[in-house]
Amino acid sequence: MKLLEKTSRIYLLASLVIYLAVGIAFYWIIKYMIYDEVESRLKVERRDFEAYVKTHDTWSDNSYFVENKIEVIPVSGRIRNEVIFKDTLILNRYEENLDPFRQLTFYTFIGGSPYRVAIRKSMIQSYKLIEAISATMITFLGLLMFGMFFFYRRLSGKLWQPFYDSLASIKDFDWTKSQKLEMAKSEITEFNELEDVMVKMASKMQHDYKSLKEFTENASHEMQTPLALINARVEQFIQMGDLGKEHTYWIEEIYHASRRISRLNQGLLLLAKIENQQFTEQENTNLAELIKAKLKDFEDIISHKQLSVSIDVAGDFIVLMSPALAEIMIVNLLNNAIRHNYVNGALEISCGEHYLQVSNTGNALKTDPESLFDRFKKESTGSESLGLGLAIVKQICDNYSLTIDYKNQELTHTICIRC
């Protein structure tokens, strides 16, 4: 969820709660004020009623007291000295419905006899006034809330626009190129401070990337040259016929160790280049066609081991990636499946639009399957195995958001790559 949408939802929810609370409080305050006004008028009518009775010592139903209705009923026994306010409903004889009234009830003596007096005032106009005020209040609060919501959203969008512009610049930034990160200045101090930090970080990343790239390139060149020289000189010694058996043995050991160091150096440097994304060229690569083409390079080894090969291509597995890395990944997969296979074994390749699967027969796995893609994890104890092949495949898959997993069923080992 985007920041602006999140804050807008929180603001809207908080506004609804606050406006609801304010609306309820406003309603009860208006109602209290109207009721207080009505009750004050009823008290005045009571004083007028008592003054009339005191003067005339009687009461006539024809007496007129403003718009109020007065009901006088004789009672027996002792009277209670209390005043009661309550709401009541009285039948409207014209419209035949019940109208709301506020009623004041008290007890008094008229002509020496006790009476219960009820003075009522119609609440119809008061209720209409409450409804009108409430409707007006709700309308204006609603308009105010939505007006403030859209104003806040527009204002927030404008205030946060420099942040989104900076975020877009960071997304488009490529530290593998020499172009520096450029971010527009803002009127907001915090955004400017953030942009300065991001520019410094981007510059440091470019510097580190350039240094690491130069190191890997120099290391590859500087280490391969002496190793190639050592291999050449060792080969010359091996070809000399006047060496003793023991000397020949030690020279061959040196030769194999030198070749192993050379291949190890190449593998580690390749991993470093992949991790630092130095393979920037990308194109749509059909892995189904690539694996069929690379399989021909292993025909001699396959024939030597007498492996049965089956290929099932149900669709083209096309991935946007570096052609060089795609070739390295396929070669390592095939090399792993053939090297760990046994004589008269089987090699099965299946491919679809979203997967590539390589299966081979082989001995039972001795190591933990979860560590199979770690560096220097290997099944074979031979000197030719470095334990980097599947680690390189895993690193390539991670770089291009491909998933790779291993599973085995009895003596069949399967590695599957999916997009």
Per-residue pLDDT of the chain (419 residues; tens, 9 = 90+): 676 677 778 878 888 888 888 888 888 888 888 888 888 988 888 888 888 888 887 877 654 444 457 888 888 877 778 888 988 887 776 677 788 888 999 888 888 888 888 888 888 888 888 888 888 888 888 888 888 888 877 877 777 788 888 888 888 877 667 778 877 777 788 888 888 888 888 888 878 777 777 776 676 666 667 777 777 777 776 676 666 666 667 777 777 777 777 766 666 677 677 766 667 778 888 888 888 888 888 888 888 888 888 888 888 888 888 888 888 888 888 888 888 888 888 899 898 888 889 999 888 776 666 667 766 655 554 445 556 778 888 888 888 888 888 888 878 888 898 88
Same domain, 258 and 343: no
Contacts of residue 131, Cβ cutoff 8 Å, sequence gap at least 6:
none
Same domain, 389 and 316: yes
Burial class (CB in 10 A: 0-12, 13-18, 19+), 190: exposed
Same domain, 76 and 137: yes
Listed residues 85, 120, 143: the one ending a domain: 143
Q: What is the pLDDT of residue 372?
A: 72
Same domain, 26 and 139: yes
**Residue 183: inside a domain, yes or no?**
no
Listed residues 225, 256, 275: the one ending a domain: 275
Same domain, 130 and 252: no
pTM (predicted TM-score) = 0.47
**Residue 175: inside a domain, yes or no?**
no
**Residue 149: inside a domain, yes or no?**
no
Q: What is the pLDDT of residue 67?
A: 45
Same domain, 313 and 335: yes
Count of the separate structural domains present in the chain:
3
Print the domain residue range for 54: 3-143
**Residue 118: inside a domain, yes or no?**
yes
Same domain, 258 and 289: no
Same domain, 333 and 392: yes
Same domain, 46 and 85: yes
Listed residues 225, 253, 275: the one ending a domain: 275
Same domain, 332 and 250: no
Q: What is the pLDDT of residue 123?
A: 84
Same domain, 299 and 373: yes
Q: How far apart are CA 188 and CA 194, in angstroms?
A: 10
Residue 387 contacts residue 375 (beta carbons within 8 Å):
yes
